[in-house]
Amino acid sequence: MRNAAVTPEGDQIRWVELPGQEPPRVYVHGLGAASLAYFTEVAVHPLLAGRRSLLVDMLGHGISDRPTGFDYTLESHADALAAALTCASVTDAELIAHSMGGSVAIVLAARHPHLVSRLVLVDANLDPIPRTPASSGSSGIAAYSEKEFLTGGWEEVRDRVGPHWWSTMRLAGREALHRSAVHLTRGTVPTMRELLLDLKIPCAYLLPEADSPLPGTDALTAAGVSVVEIPDCGHNIMLDNPEAFARATAAALADRDQD
């Protein structure tokens, strides 16, 4: 396990690093998740193995610290991740990022372009979404006030999301979970989609085939973003269909040496 202080108070982001060749790959999880639980199987898949790989837990999640004074905006998540990658001597990385992690990865690439050479976004949030009480995702968490969430709302969320997601969500700081969800639903200005359209690096977007078409596909493909539908999976593509995920991700990264 590796670690880096990423705030003035010394709060630590932690990650597990797999040795291999440069340039590195960085795996970033989604809201209430953890990178080891979601990405280990695919990171060591024969199609993706052999590269130096950092399975990073964002601040407030997994094995990283859970400061209550951090605001957990997408921009702050991105800057904290940038500080950790800089400490790890990472530049020109390939980011493979799921859900909220994909949103953070887009912001990271826009704010710290020397750190990112290409993106593989895994069913990532590109637009603000409405807060919806009693839903199981970020919109349901964000529908609570922070006080409501801390004083009982988290228990309702626990019961809604089920044991699989809760197995990693329970590791997240409750303030971190709520604030991250609020800022994910709020999005960024410009939006994550607009930032993605302006990036000048190779990007791919993986989504479940059952959820296609992805809104705005034409504009994304016109901007050079490869949109790839993955069969037989839900939102957690890397867990539901790791073989197809590995094939699609390897294909998205395979032409690096030809750039």
Residues 195-204 have pLDDT tens digits of 999 999 999 9
Per-residue model confidence (pLDDT) at position 257: 42
- Average pLDDT, whole number, for the chain? 96
Q: Rounded distance, CA 253 to CA 93, Å?
A: 11
Other CB atoms closer than 10 Å to residue 224's CB: what's the count? Answer: 13
pTM value surpassing 0.85 = yes
Q: Rounded distance, CA 163 to CA 24, Å?
A: 33
Q: How many helices (H) and strands (E) does the chain have?
A: 11, 8
Average pLDDT (171-200) is 98
CB–CB of 141/134 below 8 Å? no
What is the sign, positive or negative, of the torsion defined by CA atoms of 135, 139, 144, 147?
positive
Closest CA to 91 of 113, 57, 114, 118: 114
Cα separations (Å) of 244 from 29, 76, 167, 179, 230?
A: 18, 32, 25, 33, 7
Peptide bond into 163 cis (omega under 30): no
Which own/partner pairs from 209-212 qualify as long-range (CB within 8 Å, at least 24 positions apart)? 209/233, 210/234, 211/123
Residues 119-177 have pLDDT tens digits of 999 999 999 999 999 998 999 999 999 999 999 999 999 999 999 999 999 999 999 99
Q: Rounded distance, CA 109 to CA 201, Å?
A: 9
Residues 61-107 have pLDDT tens digits of 999 999 999 999 999 999 999 999 999 999 999 999 999 999 999 99
Question: What residues are paired with 228 via a beta bridge?
Answer: 206
Q: What proportion of the chain, given as a percentage, has pLDDT over 70?
A: 98
Q: Which residue has the tokens 């990036």?
A: 199
256 has pLDDT over 70: no
If pLDDT is split at 50, 70 and 90, which confidence band does 255 have?
low
CB–CB of 119/201 below 8 Å? yes
258 has pLDDT over 50: no
Q: Which amino acid is at 81?
A: L
Beta strands in 85-195 (DSSP E): 93-98, 116-122
Per-residue model confidence (pLDDT) at position 136: 83
Paired tokens of 41: 């199987």
33 has pLDDT over 60: yes
Residues 196-250 have pLDDT tens digits of 999 999 999 999 999 999 999 999 999 999 999 999 999 999 999 999 999 999 9
Per-residue model confidence (pLDDT) at position 179: 98
Q: Rounded distance, CA 11 to CA 14, Å?
A: 10
Q: Rounded distance, CA 182 to CA 176, Å?
A: 10
Q: Rounded distance, CA 113 to CA 167, Å?
A: 34
